[in-house]
Amino acid sequence: MNFTTKISIPQNTKPIDYNSKIVSLGSCFAENMGDKLLYYKFQTQVNPFGIIFNPVSIEKLIERVVLQRFFTKDDIFFFNERWHCYEVHSELSDADAEVMLSKLNRILLDTQKQLQQATHFIITYGTSWVYRYVLS
């Protein structure tokens, strides 16, 4: 009796090497993989907007970066003495709204440049899932 399933995965024609430019986005797994790659001196950008778990949030951030839709005061809110943004990880929250917006928009521009130059992407999703309501 065979309790394994054999699968054939063809060898990648463009494997990751030290010339690769890698962008790692998503869950804490993307963060851990990215940190390992950084440790071994690979050119890697790791979760520029922090750990993001669900596919819709990652999609929205990538779309914002690609379309260069800058963050504005309408995208942030004040709670517990800090400014926050629902689209990014709370590690990017700040006590000053202008500092936060400046930081988010600088990250957006840096990420746009990284996405344009990237040769490889690592995108991982966490265990969360999202309900998306679309109006017709």
Q: Is the whole model's pTM more than 0.85, yes or no?
A: no
Domain that holds residue 45: 21-124
Neighbours of 5 (CB within 10 A): 5
Number of domains in the chain: 1
Pairing, β 21-26 against β 120-124:
parallel
Q: Is 106 helix (H, G, I), strand (E, B) or coil?
A: helix
Identify the band that residue 7 occupies on the pLDDT scale cut at 50, 70 and 90: confident
Question: 43-52, pLDDT tens digit by residue?
Answer: 999 999 999 9
pLDDT per residue as tens digits for the range 61-83: 999 999 999 999 999 999 999 99
Query: Is 98 a member of any domain?
Result: yes
C-alpha closest to that of 21 among 119, 109, 116: 119
